[in-house]
Amino acid sequence: MTDSPLPPTVLAERLNAQLLSGPPAGTVADVVRRLLAVQAQDPRGARLAVRARSAGLRASDVDHALSDERSVVITTLNRGTLHLVRAEDYWWLHPLTTPQLATAVGRRLSAAQVTPEQAERGVRTVERTLAQDGPSTRAQLRDRLRSAGVAVEGPALGDLLLLAGLRGLVVRGPVRGAEQALVLVRDWLGPPPPPLSTEVALGELARRYLAGHGPAGERDMAKWAGITLGDARRGFAAIATSLIERGEGLAAVVDRSARAQLPPPMLLGPFDPSLLGWVSRVPIVNGHTNVITTNGLVRPVAMVRGRAVATWTLQRGTVTITSLGPQISAQDADALDDDATAVLEFLR
């Protein structure tokens, strides 16, 4: 079923699991709890993912959850990409999905002429700076690293900060204008809870992934979490008695089949979770190749009856919707225009 359309009932279940239909969430943490992790390399995209799945919230509520409540954080997880995750889920999801990323970071630092000794000095400098100064921006950390004799040109700065994150030292904390300051995990989140065994963590991953993405298969979870297929199978096996089989290798942990409906027409932001949670995007994007750019960017889309029918842009306070194929009906176009107004209100 990797590259073939899903039956409408299964697609409706998935989108209901994604909180795109059915009762909306009431808080930022509730959205993130359901999805487990929300891709956040695009800050506006992460906020719009919350908007599409909640009611009564604004973008400032996401900032409040990050900066004041500390109920959610942004850090590198899963496929080596920044994700929005609940603070309590950070502790087990980070060690489960990030160890395999360190080798690639080391290679990139070496290519940027950062020696292993410089990299170690850089991580120590970042840790010491955050311990002394508290939340610090990239620019502030760049200055400290330069003063310590660590190369920070080009991608080196990002990879040094990523290395500190992979080691469980730092996450992104309070919002400072257009960016987030980095913070020490121990200062921002407090002492860690008792660690989960790998088997328990894989079972929790399977359960939580399927709660927000099911029906889905082992390969879907492996791709989404950036883990091996073998580990994904171990996770599914750990919760085998809780699985609801949906055929063709798909399973769920919540039976939504009787009440799941396709969502109303809506605008979804860049890198929306509905386009990132499974091996194949075909069920939503069908044959539309320009939803995903050649460099891997996932464009904002307009969804009608569970399918991408248009892309959209926001410039100077105006939303422009560009159809991907057949003309959108007048009724659906009106509904999308209404949602565009809601997007502007959310972001304002």
| CB environment 31-59: b (16+ within 10 A), e (fewer) | bbbbbbbbbbebbebbbbbbbbbbeebbb
95 in Cβ contact with 168 (< 8 Å): yes
Could you read off the pLDDT of 271-309 as tens digits, one per residue? 999 999 999 999 999 888 889 887 889 999 999 999 999
Spatial distance between the Cα atoms of 212 and 207, rounded to a whole number of angstroms = 9
Torsion angle of alpha carbons 194, 199, 201, 202, nearest 10°? 170
Per the omega criterion (within 30 degrees of 0), is the bond before 265 cis?
no
Sheet containing strand 318-323, strands side by side: 266-268, 301-304, 307-315, 318-323
Q: Which helix (H) or strand (E) holds 309?
A: strand 307-315
List the beta bridge partners of residue 176: 179
Q: How confident is the model at residue 244 (pLDDT cuts 50, 70, 90)?
A: very high
Q: How confident is the model at residue 327 (pLDDT cuts 50, 70, 90)?
A: confident
Nearest 5 degrees, angle CA 177-CA 178-CA 182?
80
- pLDDT reported for residue 5: 66
- Parse the chain into domains and list their residue ranges: 266-347
Q: How confident is the model at residue 8 (pLDDT cuts 50, 70, 90)?
A: confident
Q: What is the DSSP string of 310-336?
A: EEEEEETTEEEEEESSSPPPHHHHHHH
Could you read off the pLDDT of 116-139 as tens digits, one per residue? 999 999 999 999 999 999 999 999
Spatial distance between the Cα atoms of 268 and 298, rounded to a whole number of angstroms = 11
- pLDDT reported for residue 68: 97
Smallest CA-to-CA distance from 149 within 117, 176, 107, 101 is with 117
- pLDDT reported for residue 159: 96
- All residues at 6 or more sequence positions from 286 whose CB lies less than 8 Å from its CB, including other chains: 5, 307, 308
Q: How confident is the model at residue 208 (pLDDT cuts 50, 70, 90)?
A: very high
Residue 257: pLDDT above 90? no
